[in-house]
Amino acid sequence: MSSSSSSSLLRPKKKMRRDNNEGILTLLDLPISLLAHIFNHLGKTQEELMNLTLVSKQVYEICKNERTGIEWKIIPVFEISVLQQEGGGSTRTLVKNMITHSLNRKTAKKFRNYHHMLVKDLHKFSSEDNVFSGTSYATDIVHMEGITSLCTTSSKLVPYSGYSLLRVVAHMLPKLREASLSNMYEINSILQYFSVKCPLLEKVTSNNNVGVDPTMMRSSHNLKELYMDNTSFICYEKEHLADLTNHPDIFLFHQCCKSLERISIQNAKYYPPSQGKLSQESLIKFVRNAPPNLRWFRSDLSISNILMLRKERPGIELPFY
């Protein structure tokens, strides 16, 4: 090859004008199979997935088409939150709006597409104990039977003021299977509401709560998973719960554990918290008397007690933490 031809090959090309995109390969120019592979590495949260579909109409169509190879699935979320300009939320207003929308055929049809409900900033909603007064028929009209999971968020301990909203939500979700109700004060009436109004409930996450009475979930006959870390428990029969010799029928969760398969009560305390952590005896008694379907129990059991109980109940996984 001559030197002249060689130098011409090495000569830099002219820069492309800014207003001419011809020849530039963008992400969306890649084969759909490759795009699907890239997109499958995203989606750790539903919010990420929703944001991805907003990039462009083309991305939206790729994500929605089941034949493109996208492995994750976007779950439609029904969000309840307080408008910034209002500063606080009204449960009564929410009920009235839900009734209005449920009577509209188009909106009522959209309600059936939702599978998850998110309640943001629960502590900002007002207390309205008589919220059903004059609107009791809302419990019969507003049923979102497609929703099977619920999550509430709060940046601070939720006072009683937010509980009227949760009572309404319990009425609205008869097919609920999973509920996250954390960071609350004396949530017992709410646990009882969900236990009765949501008979299909299988999983409850209720961490960072104060003054929980587990007996309030005795109507949850299908409850399989219970997560209550960093929670203080009301124990009316404290001595009996820790008695390893007598009262074999009285132990932690004895009124609601028949179907439980997984339980977590790390850093669990008596109520009031000044009474300290749940005793080792009460934790030991629970494991010894737990139903045969229990497969996993995480608590503050000491290493020596875990080793002892693993021999007694080898079918229960007792992790070290």
Ordered DSSP codes for 230-288: T-EE--TTHHHHT-SSS-TT--TTTTT-SS--EEE-TT-EESSGGG-BPPHHHHHHHHH
- Looking at the fold, whether 146 and 271 belong to one and the same domain comes out as yes
- Looking at the fold, whether 43 and 165 belong to one and the same domain comes out as no
Let me know if residue 1 belongs to a domain: no
- Looking at the fold, whether 277 and 215 belong to one and the same domain comes out as yes
Is-cis flag, bond preceding 292, omega within 30?
A: no
The domain tally of the chain equals: 2
- Band of pLDDT at residue 131, cut at 50, 70 and 90: low
pLDDT over 70, % of the chain = 80
pLDDT digits (tens, 9 = 90+) for 160-173: 656 888 988 998 99
User: Quick one: pLDDT at residue 312?
Assistant: 97
Could you tell me the two tokens for 78?
């029904």
Could you tell me which residues are beta bridge partners of residue 118?
Answer: 79, 151
- Band of pLDDT at residue 264, cut at 50, 70 and 90: very high
- Looking at the fold, whether 82 and 70 belong to one and the same domain comes out as no
Q: Is the dihedral of CA 267, 298, 120, 131 positive or negative?
A: negative
Q: Count Cβ atoms below 10 Å from residue 185 Cβ, excluding itself.
A: 14
User: Quick one: pLDDT at residue 91?
Assistant: 82
For residue 99, what is the domain's CATH number? 3.80.10.10
- Looking at the fold, whether 49 and 151 belong to one and the same domain comes out as no
User: Quick one: pLDDT at residue 130?
Assistant: 57
- Looking at the fold, whether 50 and 87 belong to one and the same domain comes out as no
More confident residue, 294 or 155: 294
Let me know if residue 294 belongs to a domain: yes
With 50 as the cut, is the pLDDT of residue 277 above it?
A: yes
Name, of 23-37, 136-150, 209-223, 293-307, the range with top average pLDDT.
293-307
Q: pTM of the prediction?
A: 0.78
- Looking at the fold, whether 39 and 161 belong to one and the same domain comes out as no
With 70 as the cut, is the pLDDT of residue 18 above it?
A: no
Let me know if residue 19 belongs to a domain: no
* Contact predicate 222/195, CB 8 Å: no
- Looking at the fold, whether 139 and 276 belong to one and the same domain comes out as yes
Could you tell me which residues are beta bridge partners of residue 141?
Answer: none
User: Quick one: pLDDT at residue 22?
Assistant: 57
H helical segments located in the chain? 3-10, 32-39, 46-53, 57-64, 91-102, 105-111, 138-141, 163-172, 188-197, 238-241, 280-289, 303-312
- Looking at the fold, whether 59 and 87 belong to one and the same domain comes out as no
- Band of pLDDT at residue 198, cut at 50, 70 and 90: very high
User: Quick one: pLDDT at residue 21?
Assistant: 52
With 50 as the cut, is the pLDDT of residue 14 above it?
A: no
pLDDT digits (tens, 9 = 90+) for 281-316: 999 999 999 999 999 999 999 999 999 999 999 999
Residue range(s) defining the domain that contains residue 35 = 26-74
Let me know if residue 194 belongs to a domain: yes
CA angle 294, 295, 301 (to 5 degrees): 90
Phi, psi of 199 (to 5 degrees): -65, -15
* Over residues 191-199, mean pLDDT: 93
- Band of pLDDT at residue 230, cut at 50, 70 and 90: very high
More confident residue, 252 or 12: 252
Let me know if residue 290 belongs to a domain: yes
Could you tell me the two tokens for 40?
């499958």
- Looking at the fold, whether 212 and 63 belong to one and the same domain comes out as no
